[in-house]
Amino acid sequence: MSDVMLEVKGLKASYGQVDVLRGVELEVRTGEVCVILGANGAGKTTTLRSICNMPIVASSGVVKFAGTDISKSDTGAIVGQGMAHVPQGRGTFPELSTIENLQLGAYVRTDNEVEDDIDRWFQMFPVLKDRKDQAAGSLSGGEQQMLAVSRALMSRPKLLLLDEPSLGLAPIIIEDLFSTFKQINEDEGTTMLIVEQNANLALSIAQSAYVLETGSIALSGPAAQLRDDPAVQEAYLGA
């Protein structure tokens, strides 16, 4: 497999008349955890949506996923090629049961190990197993986040995009969540691109990081380096 899992060049995006991204460039190497930091409105969610070519945003530029140009591909096709996206706000199917949510996660798969995977995620998140026939909308915020992540992983993706996973969750849960991310990255080798406002925790599990400001990359580099950068500290780490 090539060294670079995701390559983004000259990504521009807009919602109607409003330009949000003005030429974003980034690179995510295979097997690493990469973090995008930025304030509200910087364009972090838009970046993830544009990578997946979601119809909600009009985007242009070059996006290469595992060597293949996906700039003009359909979202469904992109998912089929091994990318999974956990959107902001979890994006569960609220009326469907927990287990149905997981089954949908495996929609693109044609093998017969789906049940095994479901059991696996139930093992990692026992609370989901307890609520397996409950409507997903009735789960708590943290449980829904676990469900959303599990659902995304059900497709056995090569690259996992996560949009502000800590949003609305209690600090203890967030810590558990991020250590789970780290574990998954280490055990499965899943490449991760995480968009976060909670910079400290995100940087602690990442290898590389980008800072997005009003639609373009302002800073980039190894996570440790950005962590020690005084500008980043002041703006995002509350130092």
Minimum CB distance to other proteins, residue 184 (Å): 18
Question: Counting beta carbons within 10 angstroms of the beta carbon of residue 111, is it exposed (0 to 12), middle (13 to 18) or buried (19 or more)?
Answer: exposed
Report d(CA 40, CA 30) in Å as an integer: 28
What count of Cα atoms within 13 Å lies in the side-chain half-sphere of residue 171? 1
Residues in contact with other proteins, counted by CB under 8 A, come to a total of 27
Paired residues of 211 in beta bridges: 37, 219
Q: What is the distance of C-alpha 92 from the center of its chain?
A: 14
Q: Of residues 128-187, which lie at the interface with other proteins (CB under 8 A)?
A: 151-152, 155
Report d(CA 197, CA 41) in Å as an integer: 11
Closest to other proteins by CB, 93 vs 132, is 93
Closest to other proteins by CB, 10 vs 76, is 76
CA angle centred on 119, ends 66 and 87, rounded to 5°? 45
Report d(CA 19, CA 16) in Å as an integer: 8
Minimum CB distance to other proteins, residue 209 (Å): 24
Minimum CB distance to other proteins, residue 88 (Å): 10
Q: Of residues 13-72, which lie at the interface with other proteins (CB under 8 A)?
A: 52, 54-56
Closest to other proteins by CB, 19 vs 229, is 19
Query: Binding pattern to other proteins, positions 61-100, x when CB under 8 A?
Result: -------------xxx--xx---xx-x---xxxxxx---x
* Residues binding other proteins (CB under 8 A): 52, 54-56, 74-76, 79-80, 84-85, 87, 91-96, 100, 103-105, 107-108, 151-152, 155
